Each structure stands twice: as C-alpha cells, then as structure tokens.
Amino acid sequence: MKTYYQILFVIGLLFESIGQILLSKGNDFVYALKPIDFAHWSLLTGVVLLIPQIGYFRKSIFTYIGVPFIMIGITCIIGMCVLDFIWWSQPTQEIRNQFAGQISKVPSIWKPFITTGPNFLNVGLFLLALNYFKQNKVGVLLIILATLIVFFIRFIPSRLIYAYLITAIGYGLIFFNHKTSNEHQT
C-alpha cells in the first residue's frame, strides 16, 4: 500500500503543475475551457490524490506539525476550486466581476480560500519532506527550493508551475530512492 500511496502523492503534485500550466494561459483561456474547467479540476484532483499518503509519513515532530498544515492547505484548495467553478460557470465577465467583488468583501471566504489558505499546502509539503533529510538530501533540498520559489521568488512568472513540478521531483526522489523506499514508516 505504501508505494501505491506514494505514487498517487507524486501524481497529485504533477496534477497541481498541470492545473497551474492551464491557469498560466490566462482567465480568457480558462473561461473558454469546455466541457469542464480542466484547470481547476486538475488542481482538485491533485490535492485529493495527496490525501492517502498523509497517514503514512513517519511519526515525528515534522509530521505532527506538517499534517495539519497540509490538511488545511488541501481544504483551502478544495474551497478555492469550488469558488473558481462558480466563476467559470458564469455566462459573462460582468457577472464574474460582481461575484468576485462580493466575496472579496467577506474575509472569512476570501482569505482562507483565495489569498492565504492555499499556501498552507506548500508549508505542509515542506515540513513533511524534512522527515527525509538524512536519507535523501537532494530530494529535500529540491522541496526547500520549491518552497522558496512559492514564498520569496515572486518575480518568476507562473512560479507555481515550477514549484509543484520541483516538489514532485523532490518527493519522487525521496519515495523511490532505495534508502527511503525500503524504510518502514510507522
């Protein structure tokens, strides 16, 4: 089971990258997607595929702190996708603007689901990777780089594409390296 969940976890991160690639093409592109909003379905699928592995990280301080962070991030991204599905479903830009104007005035919706909440996912991914620093420094360093890109290197266009792709590579190295893949996680 462990390897299957790890594969789903890495695939989930790749789906996050795909969603970000689609989003990078702009709102007009996303609103024109048919028959569904493939960009946000990719993001939603990606975070859902992360869930099974969460219970299989070794028990450590990084896990006890990282799991709540990643779960909050997953919840916030699911909420963000729901809001984005509503935006996508509106027939005109005027209605989309009215909807955005309305929910941006409600901090209990705007902050957790649009501005700050999704970042919890990246913090959780970073903290959980720290469990493997001794076994796979390269994989963990890649995830640290990805986290730095998310939070501190804002000048990179479409930085989330790179951040999720680098994170997927980092976790791929961690999970499928002989040192860490044969290790029992309890």
Tokens coding 63: 């896990």
Pairwise CA distance, residues 168 & 139, whole Å: 9
Tokens coding 14: 């790749």
Domain positions in the chain: 2-181
pLDDT at 169 over 50: yes
The H-or-E segment that residue 178 falls in is helix 178-181
Q: Tens digit of pLDDT for each residue in 8-66? A: 999 999 999 999 999 999 989 999 999 999 999 999 999 999 999 999 999 999 999 99
User: pTM (2 decimals)?
Assistant: 0.91
Instruction: Count CA within 13 A, CB hemisphere, residue 114.
Output: 14
